[in-house]
Copies of this chain bind each other. A is one copy, B any other.
C-alpha cells in the first residue's frame, strides 16, 4: 500500500555533506538498510559530485549499488550536472535531483554556473534519461533551491522563479521541487509559492518540498505544504548536519518529529515510528561528537499514542 505522505530521507546526502566527520561506508549501508526496514520508502543516499569537493560522499556509487539491493526502496541521488547524472545512471539510481538555485548569485557561488548553463545541463540530463531503456529510466527532478529567499540576494522575484520552473519542465524534467535552502520560508510563503509554481507548471509537476528548520518553522511549513496537497516531504534523521554553532538550529527537518506529526494527524506514512527511533543509535554510535536533534526522540511518544503500524494490524484484525 502506497503511503499517503512520502517521507524522503535526505540525511545520508544533505546531512552528511554538512558535517566534517566522514561516516564509514559500512555504517551508511547499515543506516540505509535499517531505515528502509523501518518503512522509509525513499532515501537520497548521496551526491555525484567530485570527491575532492565532498569527500564525505565519495562512496556514493558504492552506496547506490548497495541501496538498490534493498527491497522496495527508491534510491535517490543529487546530481550537479550531466557528468554526475551519467555516474548516477551507471550506478542504477532511481531518482536524480538537479538543483537550480533561483538566485543567480547563489548559483554562481555554489555551482559556478549561470541559470542558462544549469538549464542546459537539465536538457542534456533529460536527453540522457530519455535514452535509457524502458524500465531503467530514473525519475528526474529539477529542484528550485533558495526559492524562499537567498542569503546573498534576499527575496527572489516571483517572475524569475516561475520562468525557471517552466524552463526546467521545458528542458525535460519530470517535475520540479521547492527547496528552502536558507530556512527563510514561512507557512504563508509556502502556500503562496506552491500556488504560483503549480499555476506555472501544473499541479502534477510539483509534489515535493525540501524544508529547513533554521528558524523553528519547519513543521509548520510542512503543514502548510500538506494543506496545499503536496505529498512528498524531505527530512533528515536526527536532523543530522544541523548548524553546530546554533544548538537546535538544525538545517533539515528531523525525520522522527515529522513522522510523529504525520502519524498523530492520522496520515499514513508506512513507517514504523518506534523502529525508526531505534535507527538513531546507528548514527549516534558512529558519530559520537555529532549532535543529534529532535524533540520526539527525547520526549518519547504520548501515552495512548497508537503507532501507525499497530493501527494497520488492528485494521487487519478487524
Contact = CB atoms under 8 A, between A and B. Distances in A.
Contact of A302 (B149, B213, B254): B149
Interface stretch (A1-9, A160-168, A245-253): A245-253
A150 interface: yes
Number of copies: 2
A264 interface: yes
Interface in A253-309: 254, 257, 260-261, 264-266, 293-296, 298-299, 302-305
A182 interface: yes
Given A248-B293, A304-B154, A189 B264 contact: yes
Interface stretch (A47-55, A91-99, A216-224): A216-224
A247 B249 contact: no
A219 B223 CA distance: 10
A63 to B, nearest CB: 29
A14 B266 CA distance: 31
B219 A217 contact: yes
A311 interface: no
A214 B295 contact: yes
A254 B216 contact: yes
The listed residue with most B CB atoms (<10 A of its CB), out of A184, A215, A216, A246, is A216
Interface of A is mostly: loop
Given A220-B222, A293-B248, A264 B188 contact: yes
A170 interface: no
B149 A299 contact: no
Interface in A164-214: 182-184, 186-189, 213-214
A304 B155 contact: yes
A183 B295 CA distance: 10
Contacts of A117: none
A147 to B, nearest CB: 13
A88 B289 CA distance: 50
Contacts of A247: 247-248, 298
27 contacts: A150-B303, A154-B304, A155-B304, A182-B302, A184-B302, A186-B261, A186-B265, A187-B261, A188-B264, A189-B264, A213-B295, A214-B299, A215-B260, A216-B219, A216-B257, A217-B257, A219-B220, A220-B220, A220-B223, A223-B223, A243-B298, A247-B248, A247-B298, A248-B293, A248-B295, A249-B295, A249-B299
Top 8 closest pairs, chain A to chain B, by CB: A154-B304, A216-B295, A246-B298, A186-B264, A216-B257, A188-B265, A219-B220, A248-B248
